[in-house]
Structure 1
Amino acid sequence: MHLSQALTVIGAGSYGTALAIAVASKGYPVLLHARDENKAYIMEQTRHNAHYLPKIAFPNSLHVTADLKEALAFSRDILLVVPSSAFVATLEAIKPYWQPKQRLAWATKGLDSSGQLLSKVVREKMTSPDYPILPMAALSGPTFAKELANGMPTAIACAGNDDYFVDDLCNLMHTNTFRIYKSHDLTALQLGGAVKNVIAIGAGMSDGLGFGANARTALISRGLAEMIRLGQALGASERGFMGLSGLGDLMLTCTDNQSRNRRLGFMLGQGKNINEALEEIGQVVEGYHMVKVIYDLAKRCQVEMPICFELYEVLVNHKPGVKAAYDLLNRQITSE
């Protein structure tokens, strides 16, 4: 076995499990880390993740552990698939077991609580005078875990700071139904995965209010414009948002009810309060946690993001969704 044909996945939620299944379906050895020892034991014995992906069997080469030291010792390449709110804590947990020449990737979508790109957080937390350069890469794109785990056609993008690592990761994860495209804009790839979750709440809210297809399409289009403006202020290219991790992921998250962010917005549009909606969804809704981060970042960068600003008012200050919608419509006329 070549070193690039093994993978450790940290995070046994739906997406982490689906990515682990995809790689292991090729016969490559994959070790999936779950925090809860009992859940890890049950998954290993029953050979599926009953909570997130019931009835989808694990390939023979996929195994589960709750031992973080074992997980880090298993392979050179480590893939983090945890909520953005747990990203820093996960880095701190794995650092004591980190080995020279290991490489770090993540499929976490979002920013840290201060608005930093996760690539910057990784550099700050994982590099040192002894290890000043860490090969890193991010994965992002329009992906629902259940479809990926079921072998349905899926494509995402990968960007990083080391071409060899990006190439290895794309080859490792590519299957007959899962295609990985290389991106050259790490900033755009990461920012697109964060902002699209906030916009998707707005799209769901628009539909929940009964505003129709015209309003939904306008919101998605103008949401993309906001994403690009913020990205350019942070050094990303406009082109970087036109692919899978920008426009593609935005379209998926805004239009399909498998999206937790869209479902949250839809429930709010129908009159449910935020706590009721979050409890009914029962999983992390990244856009809800990200809206304040995006709001603060846009203010610091002096970037106008009216859709995100109105969603901040709805989600944080409890402004009625219908008022937020009409306030957006009644803004001063500007150029597209």
Structure 2
Amino acid sequence: MTKVAVIGAGSWGTALAMVLADNDVDVKIWARRKEQIDEINEKHTNSKYLPDVVLSERIVGYENLATTVKGVDIVLLVVPTKAIRETVQEMLKELKQPVTVIHASKGIEPGTHKRISEMIEEEFQDSELLTNVVVLSGPSHAEEVSQRQPTTVTVSSKSSEASELAQDLFINQHFRVYTNPDLVGVEIGGALKNTIALVCGLTNGLGMGDNTKAAIMTRGLAEMARIGVKLGANPLTFAGLSGLGDLIVTCTSVHSRNFRAGLMIGQGKSLDEVLNSMGMVVEGIRTTKAAHELAKIEKVDMPITSALYAVLFEGLHPEQATERLMGRVKKHEVEQLNIDLE
């Protein structure tokens, strides 16, 4: 039987552990806080992240990383982007056997502009302990997955066998899993939709309505596709679950941290106030910085991302950012997509 360790016991890691447990997989789940692990093991709950959800007894919590990864075949890595390298480095000290790493995090690293699979491969490069890296992405709020509401996601890897392994591991009647060979597109789509969700929340906070949200989502999707294609992605990926699908769910749902953060910024709160009040990581903040840098390097036009960057890091007022976007030189929509479908 496949043995799985889930590294990261937040809402998403816990929800995915529940999917695995429903598929009769015995799951080890790791967190740093002893009180959280005690709650998982004694009460079968993780109330800070998924209140009112009862966990399977197949999910066993550990605070010792060496014990967590001992003898497992697969590591499911579900930590914030900023913690990926540190967590992998800690894990490497304890691993004794090769593993396939499935990651379910969404972001791009500022400075290096690496995707998460690239970060993982880079940290494993001096060892022989990495079999494959797989990304799991798509429109999937942890709250709804934990309630077994119908959800569809995509898995992708450089190895088709690894993708199919992940598909078989997770798929069930509530959680449908597709494979996609476009690793670049799946990761870029999952990361950049958070930036667009921040902008949708921000315009909502300014009192703007559905017309504005539809414009931001549509033009935001064009930005995601432009930079993705420049980096080698298949443009059709952005019309799928990890592109359009994830964009819709993140830009329109009360479950979205990025939308809620943008909403507060639009209502006049500072970035520091927002981050302090959220209590959880808002991946879109960091991704906006990385995407803005990447757009400059690759010479890709990303006006929505650039406007948000100016609001978050340069002190531009949200209303001025909106005026800047609406006052841009007139364009032809199809030409602006700038995507070669051949």
Q: Same fold judged by TM-score > 0.5?
A: yes
Is 1:298–2:295 an aligned residue pair?
A: yes
% identity of equivalent residues: 35
Instruction: For 2:299, give the aligned amino acid.
Output: Q
2:154 corresponds in structure 1 to: 157
Please tell me the residue identity of whatever aligns with 1:335.
H
Whole-Å separation in 2 of the counterparts to 1:120 and 1:23: 25
User: How many residues are aligned here?
Assistant: 332
SS class of match (2:108): coil
Asked if 1:93 corresponds to 2:76, the answer is no
Partner deviation per Cα, 1:12-69 (whole Å, 9 max, x = no partner): 0000000001110222101111112232122211111011112211112111101101
Specify which of 285, 290, 300 is matched with residue 288 of structure 1: 285
Bigger drift between 131-140 and 284-293 goes to: 131-140
The aligned counterpart of 1:334 is 331
Q: Secondary structure at the match of 2:131?
A: coil
| Structure 1 pair 317–149 and aligned structure 2 pair: CA distance change class (3 A) | same
| Among candidates 223, 226, 230, match of residue 226 of structure 1 | 223
2:30 & 2:86 partners in 1: Cα distance? 15
Q: CA deviation at 1:117?
A: 1.2
Where do residues 255-270 of structure 1 align in structure 2 (5 Å cutoff)?
255-270=252-267
> Which among 120, 123, 126 is matched to residue 121 of structure 2?
123
Alignment-derived partner of residue 216 in structure 1: 213
Matches of 1:304 and 1:56, distance apart in 2: 43
CA deviations over 1:173-212 (Å, ceiling 9, x no partner): 1121011110110000001111110111101111111221
Provide the residue aligned with 2:337 in structure 1: none
- What amino acid does structure 2 have at the position aligned with 1:121? M
2:99 and 2:129 in contact (8 A); partners too: no
Post-superposition shift, 1:132?
Answer: 8.6
1:70 aligns with 2:67: yes
Kindly provide the amino acid, as one letter, of the partner of residue 231 in structure 1: G
Aligned twin of 1:103: 100
Distance 1:191 1:86 in 2: 18
Could you state the TM-score of these two structures normalised by the residue count of structure 2?
0.94
Counterpart CA distance in 1 for 2:54 and 2:273 is: 33
Give the letter aligned to residue 189 of structure 1.
V
Structure-2 separation of matches of 1:99 and 1:161: 24
Aligned-pair CA distance for 1:258: 1.1
1:256 deviates by 0.9
1:27–1:60: 8 Å Cα contact kept in structure 2?
no
Aligned residue in 1 for 2:304? 307
Q: 1:28 to 1:132 in 2, by over 3 A?
A: closer
SS at match of 1:211: coil
Check 1:77–1:133 CA distance in 2 against 1; reply closer, same or farther (3 A cut): closer
Name the counterpart of 1:134. 131
Which one is further off, 253-262 or 306-315? 253-262
**Aligned-pair Cα RMSD in Å:** 1.4
Matched, 1:196 2:193: yes
Instruction: Please show how residues 151-190 of structure 1 align to structure 2 within 5 Å.
Output: 151-190=148-187
Answer with 6-15 or 116-125: which moved more: 116-125
Mind listing any 5+ residue stretches in structure 2 that lack a counterpart? 334-342
The 8 Å contact of residues 87 and 112 in structure 1, kept in 2 or not, is answered as no
Find the aligned partners of 1:110 and 1:133 in 2 and give their Cα distance.
21
CA separation in 1, counterparts of 2:299 and 2:81?
Answer: 24
Q: Is the 8 A contact 1:135 1:165 kept in 2?
A: yes
Pick from 259, 268, 291: which aligns with 1:271?
268
Q: How far apart are 1:277 and its partner, in Å?
A: 2.2
Asked if structure 2 preserves the Cα contact closer than 8 Å seen for 1:206 and 1:216, the reply is yes
1:38 to 35, 39, 45: 35
Q: How far 1:232 sits from its partner (Å)?
A: 1.0
- Counterpart check, 1:24 vs 2:24: no
Normalised by the size of structure 1, how large is the TM-score? 0.96
Retained in 2: the 8 A contact 1:31–1:74?
Answer: no
Contact 1:8 / 1:74 at 8 angstroms: preserved in 2?
A: no
Q: Does structure 1 residue 12 correspond to structure 2 residue 9?
A: yes
CA distance in structure 2 between the partners assigned to 1:132 and 1:268 by the alignment: 43
